[in-house]
């Protein structure tokens, strides 16, 4: 049985929820930096191959969120910008993880869905 939207969720609430995402380049950049910091923090907590294996679902979620933001950013006029401290932190953490036995393969597995989505969009 299908419930009409108007009966289960007030229409104004649906409109509000649909408009909650970032809409300007600055909003997208802010959210992208926040997600990048969260991903770097997640990677920073990984100390072993076992930690990395356990973290793959969480990492996959982070990579997909960043991919969502990049796809959204494609639709918004943007300005050139410099790299951020968050991206430098992420780079350092990825380099550290890549040095672990099996680290590169695990990261590539975690980011594979996001990479495929980006390749199909761009």
| Mean of pLDDT values over 72-88 | 79
Domain boundary assignment for the chain: 23-121
**Pair 60, 54: CB distance under 8 Å:** no
pLDDT given at position 2: 43
Estimate the share of the chain in helix, then strand, then coil, as percent rounded to the nearest 5. 75, 0, 25
pLDDT class for 52, splitting at 50, 70, 90? very high
> Does the pLDDT at position 5 exceed 70?
no
| Mean of pLDDT values over 41-50 | 96
pLDDT given at position 75: 85
Range scoring the smallest mean pLDDT among 19-33, 55-69, 99-113: 19-33
CB atoms within 10 A of CB 29: 18
Q: How far apart are CA 109 and CA 122, in angstroms?
A: 20
């Amino acid at each position: 049985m299908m419930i009409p939207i108007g009966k289960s969720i007030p229409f104004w609430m649906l409109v509000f929820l649909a408009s909650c995402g970032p809409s300007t380049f600055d909003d997208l950049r802010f959210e992208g930096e926040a997600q990048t910091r969260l991903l770097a923090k997640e990677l920073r907590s990984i100390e072993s191959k076992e930690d990395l294996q356990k973290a793959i679902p969480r990492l996959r979620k982070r990579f997909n969120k960043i991919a969502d933001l990049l796809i959204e950013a494609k639709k918004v006029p943007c300005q050139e910008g410099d790299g951020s401290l968050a991206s430098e932190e992420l780079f350092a953490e990825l380099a550290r993880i890549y040095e672990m036995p099996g680290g590169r393969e695990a990261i590539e597995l975690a980011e594979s869905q996001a990479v495929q989505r980006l390749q199909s969009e761009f």
